[in-house]
Chains A and B, each alone.
Chain A
Amino acid sequence: MGTFSASEGADRSGEPRVEARLSEVSRPSSPTVVFPEDKPLRLESGQLLAPLSIAYQTYGTLNADKSNAILICHALTGDQHVASRHPVTGKPGWWEALVGPGKPVDTDRFFIICPNILGGCMGSTGPASLNPKTGKPYGLDFPVITIGDMVDAQVRLIDHLGINQLFSVIGGSMGGMQVLEWVTRQRERVATAIPIATAPWHSAQNIAFHEVGRQAVMADPDWRGGNYYEDGVVPKNGLAVARMAAHITYLSEKALQGKFGRNLQDRAARSFSFDADFKIESYLRHQGSTFVDRFDANSYLYITRAMDYFDLENAHGGKLANAFVGTKTQFCVVSFTSDWLYPTRDSKAIVKALNAVAANVSFVEIESDKGHDAFLLEEPEFHATVRGFLTAAAAKRGLAAYARGI
């Protein structure tokens, strides 16, 4: 790291946040369901995982026949706080643009469930959780997991909630990968699906960026082979660099140029040093330093690995369409023009496979210069699409009675 610390400039309030984050691992403020030792989750790797905790948030009210449930699957660095204040950062929910009362995913109308994924660090079992065999945090003894394993864990939660069929499964980016695994693994249980800004497999470029991030974490002396928990240290610098590199991939060249250009940060001239002279440097350092306060470094390793392993085509005999044979799910696939991380051609591959089995599919490409991040932002055309799709699908299934103002 040498001349600069990526967490430089982080406010001192970071320390209590680390405390709050660690508390969320073992004593989450969210409702949590625990599946005991005698009911292990069989992972794709063949390993068994128990006990299994799933922390989750719900919004809205489940109707009498349990037909209005929507599962929201979060992305790599997301969590269950989709539409409520984050217990560590105090920030609003990460998808309040889309989810809430009167919003396109209307909590006045639907019952929204958002679990923290398997491998996460906000109360669901992950590498920071206690290993029952040792009584210490798993660290690298945590088994390598897949997107399919995350979905199998979510299935247990949905079973636990007594919901037979989900009205919709919605997710962007890695959340979209979970949506695709849901419709292939639980084909009778998903009425509609909205995979957003996602892909049926992780590309070489995406694996490459993840590897850079993981190597940055592992190169941090405070990572300590993954056993940093007990030493009271956090591989902050490594994780911050990983976040900085990843953050570039979430934006577009045009957005970076438009937002930052070559503008200098709080100075009139170059400093002839390695300080954050440029606004873009300062912005990335801020992104890095705030991220380490709320995210576990090992979780970052495990979740990026799960994404790298995702290949729905390979899992279905080399033909993506085989994943969807016989599907009754109604799909709405969404991509964004400036997203180069999960470009439109990846969404089109999904659509092509769905067409090949004559599935019911809508596909919309949204014009945006905000890059991959667009799915999290205020994008009226995207939101109108989700609203229209869900409203029509709800009417078709007799859910119209719950509609407000219709």
Chain B
Amino acid sequence: MQKAVPFAGQQRADHLLIAEMVAPGSRVLDVGCGDGALLKLLAETKGVDGRGVELSREKVNLCVKHGLSVIQGDADRDLADYPDQAFDYAVLSLTIQATRDPKTVLTNLLRIGRRAIVSFPNFGHWKIRAQLLFTGRMPMTPNLPEPWYTTADAHLCTIKDFVDLVALVDAEVEEGVAFNSKGERLPIRRSLSLQNLLGEKAVFKLKRRG
């Protein structure tokens, strides 16, 4: 589903943050779980009852071989099968930009989980803005390594765009953190402009309004 670039030789900073965001012993659905690194981290550090959905058959098989409960599936097509509030958290890690219909996917996450946790590469980061401005070509960065004609990232967005979508699907941000290029956390508060400029990735914990 997504070729996320891990922080070499260590846990991904966004995974560690997600592990801090979930309550111990909770039920978590990781959509686009890849090789299961986050599920494994959550099981080991938080005693989480975790499930995964992953598009790549090879990665699914790898997960199941390692004892994780993972099915082959697609965020766009298969989330509709899950009942309401079946999980404490529905996680979508660096995947939303590769879905066909991010709005429906986000709505489903907020329906399936009491909380949704979503991370994505921020297209508003200054390096991306600068590349487009100075080269006049689609930006390529370590987080977005593929050229426009092969990338699965059909729906890239900025932190500001994402926050607009959250409001549109009648949800609210409980917690938001951007990561700069060194992997340092930039907490997202009222003003988004600075984080939108300095954040390479962002992680949001969301809940439905009301």
Q: Which of B63, B67, B70, B83 has the most CB of A within 10 A?
A: B67
Q: Which 3 A-B pairs have the closest CB atoms?
A: A392-B67, A388-B65, A358-B86
Which residues of chain A come closer than 8 Å to B51, judged between CB atoms? Answer: 360-361
Chain A residues with Cβ below 8 Å from B86 are 358
- Complex alpha-carbon distance, A391 and B68, angstroms: 11
Q: Select which of A356, A363, A395 is within 8 A of B71 by beta carbon.
A: A363
The answer to whether B65 touches A385 (Cβ under 8 A) is: yes
Contact of B82 with A355 in the complex, beta carbons under 8 Å: yes
Name B's interface SS: mixed
Residues on B facing A (Cβ under 8 Å): 49, 51, 57, 60-61, 63-73, 78, 81-83, 86-87
With A332-B64, A385-B64, A389-B64 already in contact, the answer to whether A360 and B69 are too (CB < 8 A) is: yes
Knowing A352-B81, A358-B87 are in contact, say whether A330-B69 is a contact too (CB < 8 A): yes
Contact present for B67 and A356 (CB under 8 Å): no
Report whether B64 and A365 are in contact in the complex, using a CB–CB cutoff of 8 Å: no
Closest to B29 in A: A358
State the total of A-B contacts with C-beta under 8 angstroms.
66
A275 within 8 A of B: no
Complex CA–CA separation, A365 to B61 (angstroms): 8
- Chain B: CB-nearest residue to A352: B81
Q: A357-B83, A363-B60 are in contact. List 4 more A-B contacts (CB 8 A).
A: A333-B71, A363-B73, A366-B61, A392-B66
* A360 vs B49: C-alpha distance when bound (angstroms): 9
Task: Name the residue on A nearest B71 (C-beta).
Answer: A363
Asked whether any CB of chain B lies closer than 8 Å to the CB of A50, the reply is: no
| B81 proximity list for chain A (CB < 8 A) | 352, 355-356
* Bound complex: CA A213 to CA B60 (Å): 38
With A355-B82, A358-B86 in contact, is A395–B64 under 8 Å at CB? no
Residue of B nearest to A363 (CB): B71
B residues less than 8 Å from A381 (CB atoms): 61
Q: Are A361 and B71 interface neighbours, CB within 8 A?
A: yes
Whole-angstrom distance between the alpha carbons of A367 and B57 in the complex? 9
- Chain B residue with minimal CB distance to A357? B83
Residues in B whose Cβ lies below 8 Å from that of A395: 67
Min C-beta distance of B62 to chain A, whole Å: 9
Chain B residues with CB under 8 Å of A392's CB are 66-68
User: Given the complex, which residues of A lie within 8 Å of B70, measured CB to CB?
Assistant: 362-363
Q: What are 16 A-B contacts with C-beta separation under 8 Å?
A: A351-B71, A352-B81, A355-B71, A355-B78, A358-B86, A360-B49, A362-B71, A363-B73, A364-B60, A364-B64, A364-B72, A384-B65, A385-B61, A388-B67, A389-B64, A391-B67
